[in-house]
C-alpha cells in the first residue's frame, strides 16, 4: 500500500473510531462489539507507531472517551479521567511489564493489585466536607456531563462520608472514580417486569445502566436497579490519602464506598498474570470484560507517566469477547423430536471467544417478532462459556432498508404438513409422527425404557434402519424381517434374532407405555397412565372430545388440543392402523386394588431427582399404596415429592403452600398411615 493510500486509510479509520466512540460513550448504543472496536483501535495504534508525525491531538488514541451530550451541563474534571491500554494474552501482559521495568528498575520488585474490569458507566463523584456535591460522567476524559441528581438515586452511593462514626476522616475535598452498573440478577428481573408489562426489554446491563443515568428526569433513573463500585481517588485537598492502590481500596471501603470484594493483592507480576488467566468471568454477579493489573505503589505508577492518554502504571487484560455483531444472512428451521419447530440464525461467520460461529439460537418465533429481527440485519450475538450462541437483538440504527421482515412458515419444511401454534403457547409444532425430520428421534423415544422398552434398539441402530429406508414410521418396526437386518453393517444372526425378539416382546407392553411412545406433545408417562386408565384403548381415546380430556385432573386446554390434533392427523391414523394390523394394540385392564391402601385419597406431584428411586419407581410406590400421581401442581395436590435439581413445580408448590416430602419422608408417610 502506498503512503498516500495508507494515509487515507488512517484518516478513515480515525473517523470510524470517532463515530463508534460517540455511539458507545454518548449514545449508549454501540453498533459493534468491544472486541471489534479494540481491533480497530489497535490497527490505528500500529499505523501511528510507524508514522508518529501523523498523530494529532484529536486522534482517538489521544483521548479517553467522546464529547459530552449538549443536554447536560459540562463539568471539567479536576484531573484527567483516563482509559487503559489493553492486553489480550499473557504475552501482551509480559510485554507491558518489561516496557515499564526498563523505564524504572523498581518495577522488578513491585507488587500489584488485580481488580475486575467493570462493564458499566464510569462516574466521577465529588465530595466537599464529606457531602456528595457533584457527579459526572467521564465524557472525553477532561470534560464530563453533570448527572448529579440521577446519581443521587443510587442507594449504594454515600450521600455523606464517613457513613459510620468510627470511619476515617475524609479530606476536605475528595473526588473518586467508580463504575455505575446493574447486577446480572437485577437486570434479568428488570427485563421480566418489562416483558410482563408488554414493554420493550433491554439488551445488556451496561447499556441499560448508561442510558438510565442519562435520563433528564431522575425519577426514571430511580426506577432502574442501579448500583455502584468505586476503585480510585482522582483528586483531594486538605487531607491525607493512601499511597498504594491496595490501601486505597481499603480506605474507600472504610469511608463507606462500595468496593469490589473480588479485588486481589498480588506480591509479584507472576501472581498477577496467573490470577488474570485463571479468572472465571461467570463467578461475578455483574458483567466484567477483563481484569485490571495496577502497580500497587501509586507514586511509582505516577512517575512512569503516560503513553498518549493511557497511564503506564496499569493495564487492562481483556477476556475473549462474549458479544459481537455480525450479519444475519438467513433464518433456518429445525424440527425437533416432539415436532417442535424452532428458528435459528444463519450468520456471517464471526469469532466469539476463540470459536468461529456460523449459527445461533433465535429462541422462538415470538422472539423474532418482539425484537423485530429481519433477514439482512446486523445483529448482536452472545456466546458465554459453553453456552450455545444466541442472538440478543438487531442493531436497528444501521439498517439500509433492504432488510426483510420474517414470517413463520405455515407448513413443516420436512414433511409439508400444517404447523400448529396452540393458543397461549410460544412453540409451533408439526403433529405428523412420520415426519422425516422427526423419524429417528421419534423411533428412539418409542423404543426407550420409559415407553416400549425395546432392548437393543438404540440411537445408532435406529439411524441404520432409517438410513436404509427400512422404517418410515413407528409401526414399520413391527414389519422388519431378518433378511433385511442381515444386510446392515454389524448385524449377524444372533443380533438380528435378539432385536426381532425384543420388538415382538414389546407388543405385550401396557397401553400407557404405547401412549407414551407415540410422542404426543405434553403427554409424558404420568399423563399417559391417566389416559390409559380413562379410555382403555386407542380407539376410544381417539374419539374423546376436548371437553372430556380437559375434565381429567392435570389436563389443560393445550394438552387436550395436542391430543386432538395428533389423532386428527391422517398420517398418524395410518400409523395406528399399521400398529393394530401388526398386533400392537394393548387394552388397559381395570385395576383391582389389593392389600392396604394407606395413600388412598392423596394426590402427589414428583419433581427433581430422588436419591434412590427413579421417577417411575416413585410413581409405582405411590400408586401401589393407593395414591395418585399427577404431572402438575394444583389445588388438589396433597404433597410434592422433592428431589435435587427441581423444576418450576417446586416454586408452584411453595406458592400454594403444598407440603414438601423427601424420598425418606414419603416412605415414612406410607409406614405411618399403614399402621
Question: For the residues of 172-215, what is the DSSP string, one character each?
Answer: SEEEEEEEEE--HHHHHHHHHHHHHTTPPPPS-HHHHHHHHHT-
Arithmetic mean of pLDDT, 560-581 = 92
User: What pLDDT does 180 receive?
Assistant: 95
Grid coordinates given for 661? 416430602
User: What pLDDT does 648 receive?
Assistant: 79
Residue intervals of the chain classified under CATH 1.10.150.20 are: 430-581
User: What pLDDT does 56 receive?
Assistant: 80
> In angstroms, rounded to a whole number, what is the distance separating the alpha carbons of residues 8 and 2?
10
List beta partners, residue 123: 137, 178
State the DSSP string of 275-321.
HHHT--GGGSSS-EEEEEEEESBHHHHHHT-EETTEETTEEEEEPPP
Arithmetic mean of pLDDT, 26-38 = 77
Q: Report CA Rg, the chain.
A: 33
Which of 25-39, 43-57, 197-211 is least confident? Answer: 25-39
User: What pLDDT does 321 receive?
Assistant: 77
For 169, which DSSP code? P
The listed range with the strongest mean pLDDT (21-25, 180-184, 306-310, 533-537) is 180-184
> In angstroms, rounded to a whole number, what is the distance separating the alpha carbons of residues 43 and 451?
60
Arithmetic mean of pLDDT, 187-201 = 86
- Confidence band of 674 (pLDDT split at 50, 70, 90): confident
List beta partners, residue 661: 641
Output the CATH code of domain 430-581. 1.10.150.20
Arithmetic mean of pLDDT, 379-397 = 85
Would the CA dihedral through 8, 9, 12, 18 be positive or negative? negative
**pLDDT exceeds 60 at position 101:** yes
Q: Cβ of 76: how many Cβ atoms within 10 Å?
A: 9
- Confidence band of 638 (pLDDT split at 50, 70, 90): very high
Main-chain phi, psi angles of 297, to 5 degrees: -75, 105
Residue intervals of the chain classified under CATH 3.40.50.10190 are: 603-674
> In angstroms, rounded to a whole number, what is the distance separating the alpha carbons of residues 234 and 277?
29
**pLDDT exceeds 80 at position 68:** no
User: What pLDDT does 28 receive?
Assistant: 60
Residue intervals of the chain classified under CATH 3.30.470.30 are: 86-318
507 is catalytic: no
3-state secondary structure of 566: helix
**pLDDT exceeds 60 at position 450:** yes
Multiple choice CATH, 3-62, 3.30.360.10, 3.20.20.70, 1.10.287.610, 3.40.630.40: 1.10.287.610
CB distance 347 to 329 below 8 Å: yes
- Match 507514586 to its residue by C-alpha cell: 299
User: What pLDDT does 165 receive?
Assistant: 62
User: What pLDDT does 536 receive?
Assistant: 83
Catalytic residue among 14, 117, 382, 628: 117
State the DSSP string of 96-155.
HHHHHHHH-GGGGG--EEEEEEE-SEEEEEEEETTEEEEEEE-TTSSEEEB-HHHHHT-T
> In angstroms, rounded to a whole number, what is the distance separating the alpha carbons of residues 459 and 43?
50
For β-strands 143-145 and 131-137, DSSP reports them as unpaired
**pLDDT exceeds 90 at position 352:** no
Pseudo-torsion of CA 86, 87, 92, 96, nearest 10°? 50
- Confidence band of 25 (pLDDT split at 50, 70, 90): low
State the DSSP string of 460-511.
HHHHHHHHTTS-SSGGGGGG--HHHHHTSTT--HHHHHHHHHHHHHHTTS-H
**pLDDT exceeds 50 at position 129:** yes
Domain 603-674: what homologous superfamily?
BRCT domain (3.40.50.10190)
Mean pLDDT, the chain, integer: 89
**pLDDT exceeds 80 at position 386:** no
> In angstroms, rounded to a whole number, what is the distance separating the alpha carbons of residues 235 and 237?
7
Burial of 558 from C-beta contacts in 10 A (0-12 / 13-18 / 19+): middle
Multiple choice CATH, 323-393, 3.60.20.10, 2.40.50.140, 2.130.10.10, 3.40.30.10: 2.40.50.140
**pTM, whole model, 2 decimals?**
0.59
The percentage of the chain sitting over the pLDDT mark of 90, rounded to a whole number, equals 53
The percentage of the chain sitting over the pLDDT mark of 70, rounded to a whole number, equals 96
**pLDDT exceeds 60 at position 64:** no
Residues 6+ apart with CB under 8 A from 307: 85
Residue intervals of the chain classified under CATH 2.40.50.140 are: 323-393
Q: CA distances (Å), 350 to each of 347, 384, 668, in order? A: 8, 15, 57
Cross-sheet strand order for the sheet of 121-128: 131-137, 121-128, 173-181, 227-237
Q: Which residue has the higher pLDDT, 652 or 71?
A: 652
User: What pLDDT does 537 receive?
Assistant: 86
Output the CATH code of domain 86-318. 3.30.470.30
> In angstroms, rounded to a whole number, what is the distance separating the alpha carbons of residues 520 and 509?
18
pLDDT in tens, 488-531: 999 999 999 999 999 999 998 999 999 999 989 889 888 998 99
User: What pLDDT does 293 receive?
Assistant: 98
**pLDDT exceeds 50 at position 592:** no
- Confidence band of 582 (pLDDT split at 50, 70, 90): very high
Q: CA distances (Å), 23 to each of 75, 143, 151, 210, in order? A: 20, 17, 22, 12
Main-chain phi, psi angles of 534, to 5 degrees: -80, -40
Pseudo-torsion of CA 228, 229, 232, 237, nearest 10°? 40
Arithmetic mean of pLDDT, 212-229 = 84
Residues 6+ apart with CB under 8 A from 345: 328, 331, 332, 359, 360, 361, 362, 379, 381, 391
Amino acid at each position: 500500500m502506498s503512503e498516500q493510500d495508507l494515509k487515507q486509510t488512517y484518516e478513515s479509520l480515525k473517523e470510524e473510531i470517532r463515530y463508534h466512540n460517540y455511539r458507545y460513550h454518548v449514545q449508549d448504543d454501540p453498533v459493534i462489539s468491544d472486541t471489534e472496536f479494540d481491533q480497530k483501535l489497535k490497527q490505528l495504534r500500529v499505523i501511528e507507531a510507524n508514522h508518529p508525525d501523523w498523530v494529532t491531538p484529536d486522534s482517538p488514541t489521544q483521548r479517553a472517551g467522546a464529547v459530552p451530550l449538549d443536554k447536560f451541563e459540562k463539568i471539567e474534571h479536576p484531573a484527567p479521567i483516563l482509559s487503559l491500554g489493553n492486553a489480550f494474552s499473557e504475552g501482551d501482559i509480559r510485554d507491558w511489564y518489561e516496557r515499564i521495568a526498563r523505564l524504572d528498575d523498581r518495577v522488578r520488585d513491585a507488587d500489584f493489585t488485580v481488580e475486575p474490569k467493570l462493564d458499566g458507566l464510569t462516574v466521577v463523584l465529588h465530595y466537599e466536607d464529606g457531602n456528595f456535591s457533584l457527579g459526572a460522567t467521564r465524557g472525553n476524559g477532561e470534560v464530563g456531563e453533570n448527572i448529579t441528581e440521577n446519581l443521587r438515586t443510587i442507594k449504594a452511593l454515600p450521600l455523606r462520608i464517613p457513613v459510620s462514626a468510627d470511619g476515617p476522616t475524609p479530606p476536605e475535598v475528595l473526588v473518586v472514580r467508580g463504575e455505575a452498573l446493574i447486577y446480572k440478577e437485577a437486570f434479568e428481573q428488570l427485563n421480566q417486569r418489562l416483558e410482563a408489562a408488554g414493554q420493550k426489554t433491554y439488551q445488556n446491563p451496561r447499556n441499560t445502566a448508561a442510558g438510565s443515568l442519562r435520563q433528564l428526569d431522575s425519577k426514571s433513573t430511580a426506577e432502574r436497579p442501579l448500583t455502584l463500585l468505586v476503585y480510585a481517588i482522582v483528586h483531594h485537598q486538605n487531607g491525607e490519602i493512601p499511597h498504594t492502590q491496595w490501601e486505597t481500596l481499603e480506605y474507600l471501603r472504610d469511608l463507606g464506598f462500595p468496593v469490589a470484594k473480588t479485588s486481589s493483592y498480588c506480591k509479584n507480576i507472576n501472581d498477577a498474570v496467573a490470577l488474570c488467566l485463571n479468572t472465571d468471568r461467570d463467578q461475578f454477579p455483574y458483567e466484567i470484560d477483563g481484569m485490571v493489573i495496577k502497580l500497587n505503589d501509586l507514586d511509582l505508577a505516577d512517575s512512569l507517566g503516560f503513553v498518549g492518554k493511557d497511564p503506564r502504571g496499569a493495564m487492562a487484560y481483556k477476556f475473549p469477547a462474549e458479544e459481537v455483531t455480525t450479519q444475519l444472512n438467513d433464518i433456518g428451521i429445525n424440527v425437533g423430536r416432539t415436532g417442535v419447530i424452532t428458528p435459528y440464525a444463519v450468520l456471517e461467520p464471526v469469532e466469539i471467544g476463540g470459536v468461529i460461529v456460523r449459527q445461533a439460537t433465535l429462541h422462538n418465533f415470538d422472539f423474532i417478532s418482539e425484537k423485530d429481527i429481519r433477514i439482512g440485519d446486523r445483529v448482536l450475538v452472545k456466546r458465554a462459556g459453553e453456552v450455545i450462541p444466541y442472538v440478543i437483538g438487531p442493531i436497528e440504527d444501521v439498517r439500509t432498508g433492504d432488510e426483510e421482515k420474517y414470517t413463520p412458515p405455515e407448513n413443516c419444511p420436512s414433511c409439508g404438513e400444517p404447523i400448529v401454534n396452540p393458543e397461549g403457547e410460544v412453540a409451533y409444532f408439526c403433529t405428523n409422527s412420520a415426519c422425516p425430520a422427526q423419524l429417528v428421534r421419534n423411533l428412539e423415544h418409542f423404543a426407550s425404557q420409559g415407553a416400549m422398552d425395546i432392548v437393543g434398539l438404540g440411537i445408532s441402530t435406529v439411524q441404520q434402519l432409517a438410513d436404509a429406508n427400512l422404517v418410515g414410521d413407528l409401526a414399520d418396526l413391527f414389519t422388519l424381517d431378518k433378511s433385511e437386518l442381515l444386510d446392515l453393517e454389524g448385524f449377524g444372526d444372533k443380533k438380528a434374532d435378539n432385536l426381532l425378539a425384543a420388538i415382538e416382546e414389546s407388543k405385550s407392553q401396557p397401553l400407557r407405555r404405547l401412549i407414551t411412545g407415540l410422542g404426543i406433545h405434553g403427554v409424558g408417562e404420568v399423563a399417559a397412565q391417566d389416559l390409559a386408565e380413562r379410555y382403555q384403548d386407542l380407539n376410544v381415546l381417539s374419539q374423546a372430545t376436548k371437553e372430556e380430556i380437559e375434565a381429567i385432573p392435570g389436563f389443560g386446554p393445550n394438552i387436550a388440543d395436542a391430543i386432538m390434533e395428533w389423532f386428527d392427523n391422517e398420517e398418524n391414523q395410518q400409523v395406528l392402523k399399521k400398529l393394530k394390523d401388526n398386533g400392537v394394540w394393548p387394552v388397559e385392564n381395570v385395576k383391582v386394588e389389593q392389600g392396604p391402601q394407606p395413600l388412598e385419597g392423596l394426590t402427589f406431584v414428583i419433581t427433581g431427582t430422588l436419591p434412590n428411586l427413579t421417577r417411575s419407581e416413585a410413581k409405582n410406590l405411590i400408586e401401589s399404596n393407593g395414591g395418585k400421581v399427577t404431572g402438575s401442581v394444583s389445588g388438589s395436590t396433597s404433597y410434592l415429592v422433592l428431589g435435587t435439581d427441581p423444576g418450576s413445580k417446586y416454586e408452584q408448590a411453595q406458592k400454594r403452600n403444598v407440603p414438601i416430602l423427601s424420598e425418606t419422608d414419603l416412605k415414612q408417610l406410607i409406614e405411618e398411615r399403614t399402621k
